[in-house]
Structure 1
Amino acid sequence: MRKVEAIDLFCGIGGLTCGLQQVDIKVIAGLDNDKSCQYSYEKNNNVDFICKDVTKYDFREMKDMYSKDSIKVLVGCAPCQTFSSHTFKVRNREDDIRWNMIDHFLRGIKEIKPDIISMENVRGITKTEIFFKFVEQVKKLGYKISYEVVNFADYGVPQNRNRLVFLASKLGEIFIPIKTHSKKNRVTIKGIIKKLPKIKSGEVYKNDKTHTSRNLSKLNIQRIKQSNPGGTWQDWDNELLLNCYKKESGQTYSTVYGRMSWDKVSPTITTQFSSYGSGRFGHPEQDRAISIREGALLQTFPMDYDFGKEIRIVEVSRHIGNAVPPKMGKNIGICILRHLEEVEYGKK
């Protein structure tokens, strides 16, 4: 088989790159306009980070990066916030600069003409006209495509993370990755972060600066002490409630101020996971939000993944929450290699 080379668009800190390289798919470059991602991307993956605005990028430069006879793979996760469930009621969301990033992914496809394409995004994108047009354009370019919204928990990622996985190939029929887990054997929170050293809110563990959590106020300490695993603010005494939760309309806010459960998968690790009040991000038994390292592990980053010389909690939380879990990247890589083997076998 010819060597397989990939380029990662909208690469962030390198979750997808990390996963692909775990199955020996050589990633030759990553592109992103967020300079703050460069250190982690290059340090952990030993791949060049191109800090450019994709809307102005000349993909002819990228086309020349691939080896002459390689199997060319183009992967990416275009910014997805405008397609998330939280923004579907937002007016004029089409005016958001991130709305048409998928068009620039398509522009890259047209210029590079990769053999294989992989894209990950939030499930909400599948309800948009811009996605349907993207699919039709890719088909017209001669690709066989496959896509589905899947729960990454079914692929060994210890969290409920429903995302679109899109694959396309010029070489033949291609299918989304085969599930590796079911509800009976999913990887739980306990199996990933239980053994990490105990820390208090606001503390930085001496041997790992990434194992740090946000400081909680005295009031929030009282609140999390009354939060049961799997529970939320509904566990609290009345005097601890926010005023909005005392109203009938506030009863619907059931996904905030929650505590995780050891024997379950985590909720989706968002860019706000370090904030106790922004979701079900309370540690299962310690009175704090999960640490940056714990969030990274639940996103399946390796234990030694380096997130910077200085840990800025808000920034690194955003980097981790926006990433494609490396474990899912690995599953996509396995799927691509299996497809190439089938194509090669079919020629014999």
Structure 2
Amino acid sequence: MHIQPEVSLKPHNTFGIDVKAQQFVEVHQLSDLQTLLKEQQQNPTPLLILGGGSNVLFTRDFEGLVAKIKLKGIRLLREDDSNVWLEAAAGEVWHDLVMHCVQKGYGGIENLSLIPGTVGAAPMQNIGAYGVEIKQVLETVQAVERSTGVLKVFTNEECKFGYRESVFKNIYKDQFVITGITLKLSKKPTFNTSYGAIQEVLQTNQVKELSIQAISDAVCQIRSSKLPDPAKIGNAGSFFKNPTIPFTQFEQLKQAFPHIVGYPVANSQVKVPAGWLIEQSGWKGKRFGHIGVHSRQALVLVNYGGGEGSQIRQLSADIQQSVLQKFGIAIQPEINII
């Protein structure tokens, strides 16, 4: 490992925020990570674990050590007539893993195509899109405990997955470093095409025979049409979670806002698209100097170049306040703000 002083984090976060890490290191081996954590215990300094940087907003320089996880590897553990068990290291690019599975004919994560970030971040917030969440196919998470350097294995149940939630974001926050995951995927997949515009795109593409490749292509097409490419415009995808509210509150809102959109979920709750709430509050396409709200998707806050993280944080707070005043609904960031 080579620890570097005073490194710009601009190339390491998809918002493209130009802040510095006091120290920076890339971790390519599990043993290096364990060594690093042991040294941290002996000489405690602030430590930030970074994956693809696609779910983080830096608002200041980081006074400590930033460790970028670069653990690599995808391997088949076992298989039977119906399923395969696949292990993927935390530093793999998530979309690359999806493409690997699509090409091999392993079904289960094709709806999660083109989600930015690394494999290690996927279970952290239970990534999901177009009717699928990673918890539906995840068997185990491998993670190193920061305080001991010991590698532990968490079952799906032990991860306590929720909507963009897991134990790694709450009760075990900053206590473990995810090093890999194991997925159970299907050789005889059931196709999920009911969410969003997937069916419409499949018809437009004149797909005659449904396949995981066709679904992945459709999802990529939809995401590319709605979401800006971080390589061109700094962003971290969806900035806010979709809030859930009681059915009774939704019915009251429907009287005042007849066109409000909502999807029934468990326990008499309704999930309301945060993008719709933000758009109806007048934010879509608004630009404020170097930052703004994307013109095609109100969920996405953008850095046009030269913007500061503190400005984006303030914009997000203004949006939250605006939505709360108009609809009485509190929306929360799904981005990690540092």
> TM-score, normalised on structure 2?
0.27
| Higher-strand-fraction structure | 2
Report the structure, 1 or 2, having the larger helix content: 1
Query: Relative CO higher for 1 or 2, CA cutoff 8 Å, sep ≥ 6?
Result: 1
TM-score when scaled to structure 1?
0.26
